[in-house]
């Protein structure tokens, strides 16, 4: 409980633990829990007007409108949009109530958060000296962090699962109680749970809420399932290290991850996808396909590109340059280092410096660029611009560096050095809508090329930001209007914009249904003001342009990591570093193979030849392992007929084909993905 302006109220929002509670959430909760209901009132319950009496619980009320399977699958409720336990008394201010069903997203959040508590109970029973910290629900699962003297093993996880199953079978109710902060600290201190003491101190609340099931009590604002028996299907998946509160200076804890679903069928499907994800792991495939490597002794978080990986990058970047030129962008390039004063002027030094690297040259401090916008503004400012010159569109495949903590580095998906397909558009306010729509079309074309489904969301002003409310409102409306007029659906991601402006984030869905944030469109009225960017209008006066920051792929490295997993390493033919390999039956056929190799290379195909004195079956298997689209077998028959026998990487045999037909086949296969979007492709 928080004592706010004399009113005590629990904060019952999305299931999580106290360490992420904000004061804004606490105040919001007052709307729902300010008064005790004194008499009967009518409220809207799942679309029906129902009389609610004083003292009735949410479960009592829902029982009047739900029955059978629906009522049995109800695990919580929403009172005016706030999640609550079924056992809670209906708040006096509640005007509308909806059930939370087990299989809904909110229901799964309750399942997963409750499963985290059951896991903590099991760990405490099996390992009494372990200290519990926090245990929230996360996307597709849950975790709990523990401070324990040794590492948890796979056998430990198995034992924890077994103990959890016993708790679930006992169908223990989750019971919410309230206690003064002083008494709660005494209780947790008596149990040696020092992390809970720290959380309570940080809350600064007079009264807090606790949840108990069986013999386990946890500091938590809830809500939870009615009982442990509602956890139908769960699995502990892994153990990882995690610093307390993400601070490298604080103790390293052990984080046990798990997942839970409404049904065993859903759990099995998820676990299958997770196994498939392991097979597609880009770090594993990167080694198998000889694309890239990392060397911590040289530069942690900075990939080293091998010949095949560098070639894939070159193909992708060449495609991007051509597409940008075709769409009216100019190619530019800025320096890696810029004076600190410029980063102070832009606001990056105040709002982003913890992610930047700095160095000193001749007594002057320089920042290594984490993004490319400053140089692009300097290019714009290098000459007087007329309203007739706008829009200007600057595109740079800019190499940037950002300081990421070592614990979050993850292959190509989270690196310290990467290349952004970065562009900045400076335009008149009356051109803004068309420019945003043009970027959206560009994104749609490119994502369609790779076969990605995608969704969009608008991220609004964060707390740590610059610029006026008026400019932020103008920028946000511009993004919303562009999406609305394009008949595109989008979500609102409150408070997650860039520090200088709101943005549209594009989230792509890969072959396994996982979401990745790639393209972004940021609308910025603030930096043009700070850098005094102007154009001369038709009236002869100075006017301020608007700047759009945007990427299509995002970080090239990260996008390639996503592509590797999306395609399971089997790049489409246009992007494959080796499109075909020539396999000889014996060394006798090597001379003919070399002639075939020369002919196909001259036609622009990316081809190699395996002339080793190995069995043909071995060569075929190796070519399939590295995902080469076409295998061209050369033996005595092929020499006699002046052809090659064509096999595909999926095992299909196309039989003997003349070289001209092979060239046409590979070329057509490369061009196929580009037909829908009207984009061009030149064989590299």
Give the catalytic positions in this structure. 373, 402, 420, 422, 424, 503, 549
What distance in Å separates the CA atoms of residue 221 and residue 185, rounded to the nearest whole number?
Answer: 16
**Edge-to-edge strand list for the sheet holding 337-339:** 337-339, 364-368, 357-361
Burial class (CB in 10 A: 0-12, 13-18, 19+), 436: buried
| Residue matched to tokens 């394009």 | 486
Neighbours of 207 (CB within 10 A): 18
Neighbours of 136 (CB within 10 A): 19
391 cis-preceded (ω within 30 degrees of 0): yes
Asked whether 417 and 399 are in contact (CB, 8 A), the reply is yes
H helices of 327-431, in order, are 340-346, 348-352, 373-381
Measure the CA angle with vertex 386, ends 381 and 390; round to 5°.
Answer: 85
What distance in Å separates the CA atoms of residue 626 and residue 36, rounded to the nearest whole number?
Answer: 67
Burial class (CB in 10 A: 0-12, 13-18, 19+), 513: exposed
Element (H, E) at 600: helix 590-602
What distance in Å separates the CA atoms of residue 58 and residue 52, rounded to the nearest whole number?
Answer: 9
Q: The tokens of 197 are what?
A: 């003491």
What distance in Å separates the CA atoms of residue 258 and residue 112, rounded to the nearest whole number?
Answer: 8
Distances (CA, A) of 646 to 163, 580, 655: 56, 10, 5
What distance in Å separates the CA atoms of residue 643 and residue 661, rounded to the nearest whole number?
Answer: 9
Local structure of residue 193 (DSSP, 8 states): -
H helices of 34-89, in order, are 58-62, 68-72
Query: What phi, psi does 384 have (nearest 5°)?
Result: -75, 135
Question: From its phi and psi, is residue 615 left (phi > 0), alpha (psi between -120 and 50) or beta?
Answer: beta
Minimal CA–CA distance to 229: which of 114, 61, 120?
114
């Amino acid at each position: 409980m928080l004592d706010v302006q004399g009113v005590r109220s629990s904060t019952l929002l999305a299931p999580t633990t106290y360490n992420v509670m904000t004061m804004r959430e606490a105040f919001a909760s007052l709307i729902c829990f300010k008064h005790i209901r004194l008499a009967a009132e009518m409220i809207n319950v799942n679309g029906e007007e129902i009389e609610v009496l004083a003292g009735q619980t949410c479960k009592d009320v829902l029982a009047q409108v739900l029955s059978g399977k629906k009522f049995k699958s109800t695990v919580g409720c929403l009172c005016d949009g706030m999640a609550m336990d079924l056992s809670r008394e209906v708040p006096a201010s509640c005007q509308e109530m909806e059930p939370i069903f087990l299989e809904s997203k909110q229901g799964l959040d309750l399942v997963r958060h409750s499963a985290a508590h059951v896991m903590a109970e099991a760990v405490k029973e099996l390992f009494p000296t372990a200290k519990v910290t926090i245990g929230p629900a996360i996307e597709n699962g849950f975790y709990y962090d523990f401070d324990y003297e040794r590492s948890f093993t796979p056998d430990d996880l198995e034992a924890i699962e077994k103990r959890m199953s016993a708790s679930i079978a006992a169908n223990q109710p989750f019971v919410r109680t309230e206690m003064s902060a002083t008494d709660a600290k005494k209780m947790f201190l008596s149990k040696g749970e020092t992390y809970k003491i720290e959380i309570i101190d940080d809350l600064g609340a007079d009264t807090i809420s606790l949840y108990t099931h069986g013999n386990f009590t946890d500091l938590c604002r809830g809500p939870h399932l009615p009982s442990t028996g509602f956890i139908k299907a769960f699995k502990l998946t892994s153990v990882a290290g995690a610093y307390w509160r993400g601070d490298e200076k604080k103790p390293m804890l052990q984080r046990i991850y798990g997942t839970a679903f409404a049904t065993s069928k859903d759990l099995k499907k998820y676990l299958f996808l997770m196994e498939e994800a392991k097979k597609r792991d880009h770090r594993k495939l990167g080694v198998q396909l000889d694309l890239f490597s990392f060397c911590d002794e040289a530069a942690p978080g900075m990939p080293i590109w091998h010949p095949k990986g560098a070639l894939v990058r070159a193909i992708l970047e060449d495609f991007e340059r051509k597409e940008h030129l075709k769409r009216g962008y100019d190619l530019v390039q800025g320096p890696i280092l810029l004076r600190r004063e410029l980063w102070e002027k832009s606001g990056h030094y105040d709002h982003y410096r913890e992610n930047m690297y700095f160095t000193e040259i001749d007594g002057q401090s320089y920042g290594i660029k984490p993004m490319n916008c400053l140089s692009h503004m300097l290019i714009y400012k290098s000459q007087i611009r007329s309203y007739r010159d706008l829009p200007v569109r600057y595109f740079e495949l800019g190499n940037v560096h950002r300081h990421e903590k070592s614990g979050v580095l993850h292959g190509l998906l989270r690196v310290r050095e990467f290349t952004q397909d970065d562009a900045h558009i400076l335009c008149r306010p009356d051109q803004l809508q068309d420019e945003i729509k043009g970027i959206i079309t560009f994104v749609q074309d490119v994502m369609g090329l790779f076969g990605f489904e995608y969704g969009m969301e608008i991220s609004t002003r964060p707390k740590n930001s610059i610029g006026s409310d008026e400019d932020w409102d103008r920028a946000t409306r511009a993004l919303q209007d562009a999406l609305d007029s394009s008949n595109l659906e989008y979500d609102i991601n409150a408070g997650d914009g860039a520090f200088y402006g709101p943005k549209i984030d594009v989230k792509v869905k890969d072959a396994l249904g996982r979401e990745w944030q790639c393209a972004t469109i940021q609308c910025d009225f603030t930096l043009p003001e700070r850098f005094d960017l102007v154009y001369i209008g038709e009236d002869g006066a100075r006017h301020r342009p608007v700047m759009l920051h945007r990427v299509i792929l995002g970080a090239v490295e990260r996008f390639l990591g996503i592509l590797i997993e999306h395609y399971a390493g089997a790049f489409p033919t246009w992007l494959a570093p080796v499109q075909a390999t020539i396999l000889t039956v014996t060394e006798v056929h090597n001379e003919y193979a070399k002639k075939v190799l020369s002919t196909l290379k001259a036609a622009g195909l990316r081809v190699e030849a395996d002339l080793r004195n190995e069995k043909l079956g071995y060569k075929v298997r190796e070519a399939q392992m590295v995902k080469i689209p076409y295998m061209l077998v050369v033996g005595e028959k092929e020499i006699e007929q002046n052809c090659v026998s064509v096999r595909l990487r999926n095992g299909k045999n196309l039989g003997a084909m003349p070289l001209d037909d092979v060239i046409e086949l590979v070329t057509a296969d490369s061009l196929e993905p580009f037909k829908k979007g009207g984009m061009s492709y030149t064989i590299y």
